[in-house]
């Protein structure tokens, strides 16, 4: 048996061990050495991909699905710590089987006192009874706002200076920064709390106060109910006018359309069709050459259309389906009645072609002026994203309100908003001039009123740019030459500003249900 069935000495040794220890099954030994390891859903292993420099890299990925096509298997992988839009189907040749990690079985949660559904208390997380009265266990958005109003920070004075040692402008604000301890001689000046650099979600979080996810509008931030279906892209390709788009995320189009190699959309009414012949037949009947609704802005070839989600429900739903292919953090709602959609188009001889859009609630208790915002991939990196953001704030100026986008922002949305906020605020600060030989004064509230940017976003932008410093008992804003030169270069690239004179918009009072 040793030489006939086990030519390898190592395998023969294991078979010999079976006779010494009968519990070691020969079937188990056979599976180890002769059976190919199956990669199943939930496994993790390095996968070959190309990075931005077109170089090979092997990031760790998780297998989300496996499918068989004639002749081979395909694996749908999600790269750990990468955005979901990079998920893709890969062949077995791109998998590093040597570092395969099988999914771990989840241990059952122990129960407390033997009662089902209850967990044992953790000694490290137990809060003394005296502190439990001060910390809310479940804090809703309204409770959080009440807590913010109860704790009002002291009034502080901020000076703006181009040279750190020679302040030129003087600012005052009723802000939210805490007053730091005075500087002591012989010690290095420390950054005051909440005035230094901030992380990407600083404007969304609060110290020690958990905020409940907002369950209204177009945003549900709780992703605990995602299943394997919604984690995978279900549309391979979309043809929209003269462009073919590769979707980034799942979108709930009808199931029978997800198996098609190409999904065809009418670029004017956004109706989805299953074949090119059906699209050609539809175009002979479709009379639209622009989005439905009112054209409220036009300058050059750029136009904006205001669309009521109740009056144009079919178009609004089709727009949401298309947008969901490129927005992952938003939850799609078929009830479009509470929303207005502002679609940006580019005009040519064939009609008005959709470039991007943003939506907003008709009534927002949180002063949101944007719910979802998207620039379609063929038009990205051309300045259209900032144009959409600027237009949303122009509407807020006409309404006489300050606004902010719904949180959380996507990675690309956060970059666009931060860039717009930075350029807008720096433009105001650099335009300030001395008044009668004295330093001009401006408040954070005045900046907010001029730009319609919410005060919290103004402060977070100043923190992100690291402009706020504490010097000789006062807060100063330090604009270095690098920041000024960088701002001037950025403003030269903005070739598409919004002209308020071309805006024809009358706000409505949506609190009256008759307006709906």
Helix (H, G, I), strand (E, B) or coil at 393: helix
Backbone φ, ψ for residue 361 (5° rounding): -75, 145
Selecting among 406, 456, 481, 485, the annotated active-site residue is 406
Helices and strands (H and E) in the chain: how many: 11, 22
Give the C-alpha separation, 475 to 186, whole Å.
Answer: 20
Give the C-alpha separation, 288 to 311, whole Å.
Answer: 16
Give the C-alpha separation, 386 to 92, whole Å.
Answer: 42
Kindly list the distances between the CA atom of residue 515 and the CA atoms of 39, 279, 511, in Å, as whole numbers in the listed order.
57, 36, 8
Residue 406 appears among annotated catalytic residues? yes
Q: From 59, 58, 61, 64, select the one nearest 42 (Cα to Cα).
A: 64
Decide: residue 90, CB within 10 A, 0-12 exposed, 13-18 middle, 19+ buried: middle
Backbone φ, ψ for residue 159 (5° rounding): -115, 135
CB-based contact 398:194 (threshold 8 Å): no
Joined tokens for residue 267: 């670029």
CB-based contact 441:172 (threshold 8 Å): yes
- DSSP-H helix ranges across 134-287: 141-150, 276-283
Give the C-alpha separation, 507 to 452, whole Å.
Answer: 15
Give the C-alpha separation, 19 to 7, whole Å.
Answer: 17
Q: Is the peptide bond before 408 cis (omega within 30 degrees of 0)?
A: yes
Kindly list the distances between the CA atom of residue 267 and the CA atoms of 45, 192, 264, 283, in Å, as whole numbers in the listed order.
41, 52, 9, 10
Residue holding tokens 């003269």? 242
Q: For residue 447, what are the contacts with CB-CB under 8 A and spacing of at least 6?
A: 425, 428, 453, 458
Q: CA 403 from chain center: how many Å?
A: 18
Backbone φ, ψ for residue 487 (5° rounding): -65, -40
Return the active site residues.
406
């Amino acid at each position: 048996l040793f030489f006939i069935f086990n030519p390898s000495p190592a395998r023969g040794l294991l078979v010999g061990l079976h006779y010494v220890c009968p519990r070691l099954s020969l079937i188990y030994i056979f599976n180890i050495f002769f059976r190919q390891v199956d990669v199943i859903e939930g496994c993790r292993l390095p996968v070959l991909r190309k990075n931005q420099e077109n170089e090979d890299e092997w990031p760790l990925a998780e297998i989300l699905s496996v499918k068989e096509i004639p002749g081979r298997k395909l694996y749908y992988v999600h790269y750990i710590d990468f955005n979901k839009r990079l998920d893709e189907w890969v062949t077995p040749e791109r998998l590093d089987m040597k570092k395969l990690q099988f999914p771990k079985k989840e241990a059952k949660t122990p129960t407390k006192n033997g009662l089902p559904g209850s967990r044992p208390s953790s000694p490290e997380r137990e809060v003394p009874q005296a502190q439990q009265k001060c910390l809310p266990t479940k804090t809703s958005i309204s409770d959080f706002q009440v807590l913010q109003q109860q704790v009002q920070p002291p009034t502080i004075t901020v000076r703006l200076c181009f040279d750190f040692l020679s302040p030129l402008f003087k600012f005052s604000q009723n802000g939210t920064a805490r007053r730091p301890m005075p500087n002591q001689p012989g010690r290095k000046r420390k950054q005051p709390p909440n005035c230094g650099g901030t992380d990407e979600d600083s404007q969304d979080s609060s110290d020690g106060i958990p905020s409940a996810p907002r369950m209204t509008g177009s945003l549900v931030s709780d992703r605990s109910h995602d299943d394997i279906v919604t984690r995978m892209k279900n549309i391979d390709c979309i043809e929209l006018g003269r462009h073919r788009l590769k979707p980034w995320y799942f979108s709930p189009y009808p199931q029978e359309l997800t198996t098609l190699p190409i999904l065809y959309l009418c670029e004017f009414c956004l109706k989805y069709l299953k074949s090119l012949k059906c699209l050609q037949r539809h175009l002979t009947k479709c009379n639209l050459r622009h989005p439905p609704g009112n054209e409220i802005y036009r300058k050059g070839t750029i136009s904006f259309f205001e669309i009521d989600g109740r009056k144009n429900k079919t178009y609004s739903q089709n727009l949401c389906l298309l947008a969901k292919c490129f927005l992952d953090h938003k939850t799609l709602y078929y009830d479009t009645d509470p929303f207005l959609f502002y679609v940006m188009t580019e005009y040519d001889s064939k009609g008005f072609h959709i470039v991007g859009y943003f939506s907003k609630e008709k009534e927002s208790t949180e002063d949101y002026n944007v719910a979802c915002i998207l620039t379609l991939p063929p038009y990205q990196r051309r300045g259209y994203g900032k144009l959409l953001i600027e237009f949303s704030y122009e509407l807020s100026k006409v309404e006489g309100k300050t606004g902010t986008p719904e949180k959380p922002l996507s990675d690309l949305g956060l970059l666009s908003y931060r860039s717009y906020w930075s350029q807008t605020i720096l433009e105001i600060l650099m335009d300030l001039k001395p008044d009668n030989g004295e330093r001009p004064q401006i408040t954070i509230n005045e900046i907010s009123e001029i730009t319609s940017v919410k005060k919290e976003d103004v402060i977070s932008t100043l923190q992100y740019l690291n402009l706020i410093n504490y010097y000789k008992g006062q807060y100063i804003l330090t604009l270095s030459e690098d920041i000024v030169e960088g701002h001037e270069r950025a403003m030269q690239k903005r070739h598409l500003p919004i002209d308020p004179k071309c805006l024809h918009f009358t706000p409505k009072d949506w609190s009256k249900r008759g307006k709906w």
